[in-house]
Structure 1
Amino acid sequence: MPLKVVLKPGETLVVNGAVIGSGDRTATIFLHNEAQFLRGREMLRAEEAIGPERALYLAIQMAYLGQAPERAVHDALAALRRARPEAVEEIAAIAELVSMRRHYQALRRCRALFPTATDHAA
C-alpha cells in the first residue's frame, strides 16, 4: 500500500535527496516503494542546529538523506550523552534506532529531546 503525502501550497518534501515542492495548490503524492523522505517542516537547517540535541537531529537527518557519514551521528550521540546524562535511556533508544537504520523514527525521538522555552526559564 503506497504512502500518501499531502503537500500544502508552497510546502516541500525531500525524497531520496530530491526536493519536491507544491505550487499554489495542494498536491497529493504517493510513494509506492520504500524511500527516504522528510517534509520541509521536519527538516533542520545547519544554522538551526544549536545545542547538542539539534546537532544530533541534523546529523541523523543528513545520514538519513545520504548526505553525511554515519560517523557524524555517532559523534553527535557521544556529545549528547555528555551534555544530557539524565536522558541516557532515550539517547540509547535513539542510538538503537539508528543502528537498525530506522532514521525517521530516530528523528522523531530526538526532536522530543529539544529544549522547550520553559526549560530556559528555570
Structure 2
Amino acid sequence: MPLKFVLRPNEKVIINGAVIGAGDRPGSFFLYNTANFLRGREVLKEEQIDCIEKKLYFVIQLVYIFPEDGTLNLQRFASILNETREARPDCAKDLDEIERLVESRNYYRALKLCRKMFRGGPDSADETARGSGDSSADPAP
C-alpha cells in the first residue's frame, strides 16, 4: 500500500536527499516504494540545536538523510548517545530503544522517539513534531 503525503502550500519534503516543495496550493503525492524522507517540519536545522536531545536528533537525521556519510555519522551518534545518557539518566529506556532502532536502521522511528525527549514535549521543537492534523500515516513498519 503506498504512503500518501499531503503537503501544505509552500511546504517541503526531503526524499532520498532530494528537496521537493509544494507550490502555493496544497498537494498530495504517493510513495510506492521504500524511501528515506522527512517533511520540512521534521527537519532540525543545526542552528536550532540548543540541548543534547536535539544534538542526538540531528545526528540521527544526518545518518538517515545522508547514508553516504553513514559511517562517520554513526560514530558521532555513538559519542552523542553517551553524552545524552550522562545528561539524561531519566531517559535510559528511551535511549536504549533509540540505540536499538538505529542499530536496526529504523532511523525514522528513532527520530520520532528522540523528538519526544525534547524539553517541553514533542511540540517544542519548532515544527519538528509530526502529524499536525494531516492524513498521512507513520511509514515505518
Calculate the TM-score normalised by the size of structure 1: 0.92
Q: Deviations over 1:31-67 (max 9, x none)?
A: 1110000000001000111111000000000100016
Q: Distance in 1 between matches of 2:9 and 2:91?
A: 38
Q: Say if 2:86 is the partner of 1:82.
A: yes
Partner of 2:114: 110
- Residue identity in the other structure for 2:28: T
Q: Distance in 2 between matches of 1:15 and 1:97?
A: 20
SS in 1 for 2:23: coil
Q: Distance in 1 between matches of 2:79 and 2:46?
A: 16
| Higher-RCO chain (CA-CA 8 Å, sequence separation at least 6) | 2
- Residue identity in the other structure for 2:103: S
Q: Distance in 2 between matches of 1:15 and 1:75?
A: 27
Q: Distance in 2 between matches of 1:12 and 1:62?
A: 17
Q: Percent identity?
A: 43
Q: Distance in 2 between matches of 1:12 and 1:93?
A: 29
Gap runs ≥5 in structure 2: 122-141
Q: Distance in 2 between matches of 1:18 and 1:93?
A: 29
Partner of 2:40: 40
Gap runs ≥5 in structure 1: 118-122
Partner of 1:96: 100
Question: By how many angstroms is 1:29 displaced?
Answer: 1.3
SS in 1 for 2:13: strand
Q: Distance in 1 between matches of 2:78 and 2:50?
A: 17
Between stretches 54-63 and 69-78, larger displacement belongs to 69-78
Partner of 2:124: none
- Residue identity in the other structure for 2:80: A
Calculate the TM-score normalised by the size of structure 2: 0.80
Partner of 2:56: 56
Q: Distance in 2 between matches of 1:35 and 1:59?
A: 19
- The runs of at least 4 consecutive aligned structure 1 residues that moved more than 3 Å come to none
Q: Distance in 2 between matches of 1:32 and 1:72?
A: 32
